[in-house]
């Protein structure tokens, strides 16, 4: 039996109880530390070449367009390509639409 089929056959009440157990374990292990690490990683990712490209793209084309670019499945510019595109976008006027 496939795992998905097995999980689907488990009663919802049991799944809810298992979720509570997993959540309790996460709290016991240190939710605060997990949140702190997430904040640190978020800060680091904003300063990568991809993060800088996303910020500049959102400033010039609008946030909605930047999210659509991420969701499109097309490769996100990285390293030198991202740096070059940020330099190109720097000359464009910011767009506050979207």
Query: CA–CA separation, 59 vs 93, rounded Å?
Result: 8
Radius of gyration of the chain (CA): 21
pLDDT classification of 64: cutoffs 50, 70, 90: very high
Q: What does pTM read for this prediction?
A: 0.48
Query: CA–CA separation, 83 vs 94, rounded Å?
Result: 18
8 A C-beta contact, residue 82 and residue 49: yes
φ/ψ of 69, rounded to 5, equals -65, -40
Q: How many CB atoms lie within 10 A of CB 84?
A: 13
Query: CA–CA separation, 47 vs 86, rounded Å?
Result: 13
pLDDT (tens digit, 9 = 90+) per residue, 65-91? 988 988 887 777 777 777 787 778 777
């Amino acid at each position: 039996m496939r795992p998905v089929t097995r999980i689907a056959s488990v009663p919802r009440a049991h799944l809810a109880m298992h979720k509570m157990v997993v959540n309790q374990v996460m709290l016991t292990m240190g939710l605060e530390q997990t949140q702190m690490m997430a904040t640190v990683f978020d800060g680091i990712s904003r300063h990568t070449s991809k993060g800088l490209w996303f910020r500049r793209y959102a400033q010039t084309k609008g946030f909605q367009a930047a999210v659509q670019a991420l969701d499109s499945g097309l490769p996100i510019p990285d390293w030198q390509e991202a740096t070059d595109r940020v330099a190109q976008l720097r000359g464009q006027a910011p767009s506050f639409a979207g």
